[in-house]
Amino acid sequence: MATPKELYALVQHSGYVGGGNGQFKSAVEQVLVSEKRAERIKSVGGLVFADYSEADDAAMAENYPPEVKGMIPRVRGTFHKTMKVDGMAVYIPAPKKVEVAR
């Protein structure tokens, strides 16, 4: 039997979902997900990573885009209305802006 891969997805921060701390309402964290769930997360536009540190780096980048000043995180993306992992909504990143040369 093949060993399952460890995969990580970004979801709404547990400090808000489980802890009720409003400072984390617009924040994400990484969680371990199965391969099957990872495929479903990707199908709705969520982010999946094969490495914990890569997921952690992505969470930091999403939580603190350049316009965020201070310690309260604020992602640019949204949270899926129905797809959740352990009660935390799957994060859908904002579309990347494409620079057009003039």
What's the rounded Cα separation, in Å, for the pair 77 and 26?
9
Write down the pLDDT at residue 28: 98
Tokens representing residue 66 in the block:
């350049």
Rounded mean pLDDT of 29-40? Answer: 97
Q: 61-96: per-residue pLDDT in tens?
A: 999 999 999 999 999 999 999 999 999 999 999 997
Q: Where are the domains of the chain?
A: 7-92
Q: Is the dihedral of CA 8, 9, 12, 17 positive or negative?
A: negative
